[in-house]
Amino acid sequence: MSNIEIYLDNNATTKPLPDVIKSMLPILSSGFGNPSSSHSAGERVRACIKEARKQLGQLIGADPNNIVFTSSGTEANNTAFYSATRGKNEPCRILTTTIEHSSIRKMCSHLRITGADIILLPVDPRGNIDLEELRRLLKEGIDLVSIQWVNNETGVIQPLAEIVAICHENGKVIHTDAAQAVGKLEINVDDTEVDFLSLTGHKFHSPQGIGAIYCRDKFLLAPIFFGGFQENGFRPGTENVSGIVGIGKAAELRRKNLEDHIGKMRELRDYFESKILESVPDTMVNGDPSNRICNTTNILFGGVDGRILLKKLDTKGIRCSQSSACTNSQPEPSFVLKAMGRTDKEAYSSIRFSFSIENTIQEMDRAVDLISRTCEEHH
């Protein structure tokens, strides 16, 4: 096992930045308190939460009052689905895609068992949905549309503004899982007018265990927990104050440097990708190369078993993955790549590499060299 780690799995999680950790330390020491307390210790942490909500709102272009903190993107996704489908006298109908995150897929499986009708919108071989097919399917009675903004495996970006416009033309509620979009795209949700947006902080260098849901109209939002009046009653339970402060600081840092950070991640991705395609035979990119998020590449290594390659690279210090961290323990090939028309063999031969602002060109050169030599050994 190599002592040198090159971490290229930043769509799974990113390392909290030093300034983020520093911002959290007072809350974990002398600046602690319960936000529900009426005394001054409660006041000081309530002020911290208010500032973090403002910082996150500025990153995504949202009124802070429309943001509710959660424990994760998964919880935010579940909250959106529950809010949009609760209290229906008839079985609800949900339109989503064949390439959603596992938290959406499993929520749909649960709702299907309870009688819901789940309609799946396919994608083409490049990972894009068909807007005309979306229009056609919306003619049927639909209670909720949920379409991932950026795919976590391929990085393919769906045209959210157009999707929202089509949904609203047809009077439909639209949710987007934006876990891989926030901090990597310029976002203004108030302009986009999406009804629900889910996000999680650990994709842009906040600590793990903190996410949020944006709701354009909070009258649409319904809590999935019951208890106190935290988060104005929309998310009962004592707040994760240190995590909230952390996501706020991470959002502030990303907003101030967004253009530079996007540019750096794209430069690293493009450099790495071009070097791999040049040096390793029978390689190709999965997904629309002209319509991807700045930090992601998913590469098919023809004639190579990606599962074996992944393990060999791990022993050499390169951290990468074949799918979402939430599904990596599954032995099946990527359902995202299968939905795009890849065979089982092609899906098994594919590996996702995702980059962060902390990666370097030197790491790219070393990683390409190790990957190239490992593929030669494997052929």
Other Cβ atoms less than 10 A from the Cβ of 4: the count is 10
d(CA 327, CA 318): 19
d(CA 283, CA 273): 10
Residues, the chain, total? 379
- Catalytic residue, candidates 48, 92, 326, 375: 326
With H, G, I as helix, E, B as strand and everything else as coil, classify residue 173: coil
With H, G, I as helix, E, B as strand and everything else as coil, classify residue 253: helix
Contact indicator for 198, 211 with CB cutoff of 8 Å: yes
Torsion of CA 133, 138, 144, 148, to 10 degrees: 20
With H, G, I as helix, E, B as strand and everything else as coil, classify residue 213: strand
Reference 21, options 255, 246, 209; nearest CA is: 246
Residue 152 has phi, psi (to 5 degrees) of -75, -20
Q: Which helix (H) or strand (E) holds 300?
A: strand 296-301
Question: How many Cα neighbours within 13 Å face the side chain of 261?
Answer: 21
Is 375 among the residues known to form the active site?
no
Q: Hunting for tokens 């590449």 — which residue is that? A: 297
Q: Which helix (H) or strand (E) holds 121?
A: strand 117-121
- CA distance from start to end of the chain: 22
Catalytic residues: 326
